[in-house]
Chain A
Amino acid sequence: MKHIAIVGASLAGLSAARALRAQGFEGKLTVVGDEARRPYDRPPLSKEFLAGDMTEADLALEADDDELDATWLFGSAATRLDTSTGAIELADGTRVDADAVVLATGSRARRWPGCEELAGVHVIRTIDDALALRADLQPGARLVVIGAGFIGAEVASTARKLGLDVTVVEAAPTPLAGPLGEQLGAIVARAHAANGTTLVCGVGVAGLTGVDRVTGVDLTDGRHLPADAVVVGIGGVPNIDWLRGSGLELGNGVVCGAGGETTVANVVAVGDCSAWYDDSTGAAHRVEHWTGALERPAIAVATLLAGGLHQGTVAKAPYFWSDQYGSRIQFAGIARPGDEITIEDGDCDTRCFLATYRREGRLVAVLGVDQARLFTRWRRQLAAAPSTV
């Protein structure tokens, strides 16, 4: 391998570049990013950066002593991958003649269909998205957030702090039922009401109103919520369209083995665009967490340097955190309906607790709300637990 290209210049791409150098790759390294910015940290975009408490400079991911000796190509997306050679074509016509590739193209925010031209309708994925939303977060304005997931909750929390009138609409009967399960999702979501946010659950959105600028949200039960701004927080879509026809197996993400390996020996995939096989569930999952984008590239790079063979290091259990309404939520593992839930410490009424999830007696996930110290202890127990029965 003489020339490795990393497609994607966010956390997963940067982590892959660091891992390649740390693991002794001395050849040519090219990093391609579709945004015109150097790698930056996205979690603060719905929180401190949105509130104006952090600057763009604070978001920089690179350290002064990162000596990656890489060629960075910013501002143009990759449009084609030739898996037989490893060559990549970019939208601006540039051709990168690599012989091995790390795919780290991430995901994009899912938008509300048909609202591309409607001012005041936002998603959050990039710095530009956050800057545009920040301009609309004026005290006293009415904000409707579609989706009560973590992004939606964090935006609602930030907007409340800035003095907006906030309503969150969630189609599912219980918020966060996917990641946390119904019981604990409902408890965590009580923070909305406790902080003056109106939460509407179990009702879909029929459409958005307004001609040039959004004026409100129509619900499927006939209600109309007037709005000065709307945030759509309904998940992400992996950026894999450019890989159709490349020969890679694509599902909900680039389908990978447990070491990031794809169906092509000289291509691995990391971060939000990838779906790695997980032994604990027997399926491939897209893990859209910051921590996965930080940690998994080291595993994938080892796979790539070994010619596409997973070297045996197993990815840690998925871990994420969310800061909302002054509370810190931490979760590790994968929860499933029917898991046995135990409150190990604290209590749900004060929303300060540590909960565990067990399946057939085996620890499979841990949730902490304002329990950083205990959470670390339990997360380690989770890591020590055998991943298969």
Chain B
Amino acid sequence: MAHDSAAAGGALGRANKALIPIEDTANLLAAFAIMALMILGVLQIVLRSVFNTPITGYIDLVELSMASMAFLGAAYCQRLGSHIRMELLVGRLKGRALWFAEAFGTLAGLFIIGVLIYYSWGHFLRSYTLGDTTIDAEYPVWPSKLLVPIAFSIWFARLALQFIGSVRLFLNPSLEPVAVVVAKDVAEQAQDEIHEVMGDEIDPPQNGGRS
């Protein structure tokens, strides 16, 4: 990408590199929340059935923790192009037409996520000033509500980069793609699926799998 560093690709590339670790960390936090939910569930069953002392406010804890799983990975998912869409048209476009469609799609995302950041912030602020708590164990609700505008802001940043990246390629389709999702055909999607399950363990089929 040496020829690319002069213009928009340079700054865009740097912004992209800066955003990636933030997205990865946010998704990792969501991953930890899933792990914690598993441990909490097992503990709850053991404590309730064996010791007859269920965790106080278990359901409250689960509900509060769900915001981290539901939102924190949104930008990571966007970067990898995993929020579903219909590929019928986009999958067939090439060059300028493709980058126009991509720019339009990310602009739509910027609009709605922008609106949601503003109004979910308001939702958080009301909860914070009123001192809203959960019904059972009376945990404060605001930290969970705060996760929405935070996660959506990272998502917004990712969408902004993708929008700039698409516009840049629309203006000059011959440039190296930076900060855009490269549309995949079904065969490539299938490869992704295989990789997701088997990780790096995938090996040539002839040797019959791992020993």
Q: Do A and B come from one complex?
A: no
Q: Which A residues are within 8 Å of any B CB, using their own CB?
A: none
Q: Which B residues are within 8 Å of any A CB, using their own CB?
A: none
